[in-house]
Amino acid sequence: MAITLMEGRKRQDWANLVLAVCLFVSPWVVGFAAEAMPSWNAWIVAVMLAALATAALSAFSEWEEWANLVLGLWLIASPWLLGFAVNASAMWTVVVLGVLVAAVSLWAVWDVHHPHAHA
């Protein structure tokens, strides 16, 4: 059962890694690369997410999931805190990816505290 739980967490970490890649390329794909604030926000958070997901894949620790949750919440709030909410494509991109990162991270934390929920 412990191996099954670790595999589940690895799926969540892989999901966060994929979301980090999506976030990193989003300024070019969605078309807001010319705007510094949303682009740098996406790139910096993506690198942090990728680093945390890679660390969690090599040696899981619960704090990494909590840190990912904080980054997801930051992504949700960042358009308003950094002043780029008027750019709808940048705003919706980071908000949607932030919700997905937060959801995956909450799922991983839930699994840590409710290991028998899968049985």
In a domain, 6, yes or no: no
Tell me the two tokens of residue 57. Answer: 């894949």
In a domain, 118, yes or no: no
> What's the structural domain count of the chain?
1
Q: What pTM, to 2 d.p., does this model score?
A: 0.84
Domain interval for residue 41: 34-113
Identify residue 41 by its one-letter amino acid code: N
In a domain, 68, yes or no: yes
In a domain, 27, yes or no: no
In a domain, 26, yes or no: no
pLDDT (tens digit per residue) in 65-77:
889 999 999 999 9
CA–CA separation, 57 and 34 (whole Å): 33
In a domain, 58, yes or no: yes
**Exposure string (b/e) for 6-45, b if CB count within 10 Å is 16 or more?**
eeebeebbebbbebbebbbebbeebebbeeeebbebbbeb
In a domain, 9, yes or no: no
pLDDT (tens digit per residue) in 5-64:
444 457 888 999 999 999 999 999 999 999 999 999 999 999 999 999 998 888 767 778
In a domain, 53, yes or no: yes
